Amino acid sequence: MERHTLISKPGDGEQRLDRFVSDRLELSRSRVQKLLAQGRVTLDGRQARKSQVVSVGSVVEVEVPEAEMVDIVAENLPIKVVHEDKDLLVVDKEAGMVVHPAPGHRSGTLVNALLWHCPDIEGVGGRARPGIVHRLDRDTSGLLMVAKNDVSHLALSDAIRARRVKRFYLAAAWGHLADSAILVDAPIGRDPRDRKRMAVLEDGKESTTRFEVHERWLRADLLRVALKTGRTHQIRVHLEHLGHPVVGDATYGLGWERGLGGPTRRWVDEFARRIKRQFLHAAELRFSHPVTREEMSFESPLPADLAIIAEWARSE
């Protein structure tokens, strides 16, 4: 059982209780409404209703029981382990693999593969997401930490919250950034028009990303990206916010390239044709070992599908 105390700040404004909890805890609105119906949410010490309004200074207490899921089955799936010791693993995830089971993805996930590779992680950090301390989107490739025991899980989770884990990505974005380095400090929350998307919102959670131009191509930039915070879809949302969405991003950049006309139109069309998934790769990971405190550093080159496209882009 997870227990959360949420205090409404001046920037939150007045809003319905179910939306407030949904945005703060990144839970679906339907999940929050079930918690309310079960009496697991209080507003200023009293059992709450979803239609109640949260005002500045209101205190919301939420009990979130562990998600009930079918047993997760260990599966002998190929995964690339780049480091392993008795406390943790570092995995180089392929694009297309979901990190943990969820509705619609009960098998074939990284967690299914990890349970086969390392059965001892079962139950570490919870039944639903054993060993997982941070995630990558399904179509994002690259480096991911996995805890092998509860001590490591707690320490790594704390390190992420305290921003002591350094994560760097490579991303291709349409068009050209105005400057060679840009810091985006724009809060992110659940898009009120589409709950499957995230968006830059005035009342969203603090979100900071640094973008540096690594290579300039004809009508796109290859960027080195440093995450200061770790919100859902953060890089993709911030690049859309800048007007330079990730190449191949079907959620935040679909059809954006159609606005890039002129004499380079053929290059743009060919680049869009060649890309089969979002051009986003978790390339570097730096952190202190949760037990020994040794400084750990890992790098992952662009996988073959993105490396081939990058080579074409820089040669044209």
Which residues are catalytic, by number? 137
Query: What is the CB neighbour count within 10 angstroms for residue 231?
Result: 20
Which one-letter amino acid corresponds to residue 117? H
CA angle 90, 304, 210 (to 5 degrees): 60
Are the C-beta atoms of residues 246 and 309 closer than 8 Å to each other? no
Are the C-beta atoms of residues 278 and 248 closer than 8 Å to each other? yes
Which string of DSSP letters, residue by residue, matches 159-204? HHHTT-SEEEEEEEEES--SSSEEEEE--EEE-TT-TTSEEE-TTS
Phi, psi dihedral angles at 288 (to 5 degrees): -90, 135
CA angle 35, 70, 78 (to 5 degrees): 125
Burial of 74 (0-12, 13-18, 19+ CB in 10 A): middle
Smallest CA-to-CA distance from 311 within 178, 217, 202 is with 217
Q: Which residues of 79-94 are buried (b: 16+ CB within 10 A; e: fewer)?
A: beeeeeeebbbbbbbe
Task: Using the structure block, give the residue that is written with the tokens 């589409």.
Answer: 194
Contacts of 48 (CB under 8 A, 6+ apart): 17, 36, 41, 42, 60
Tell me the two tokens of residue 243.
């007007």
Query: What is the CB neighbour count within 10 angstroms for residue 287?
Result: 21
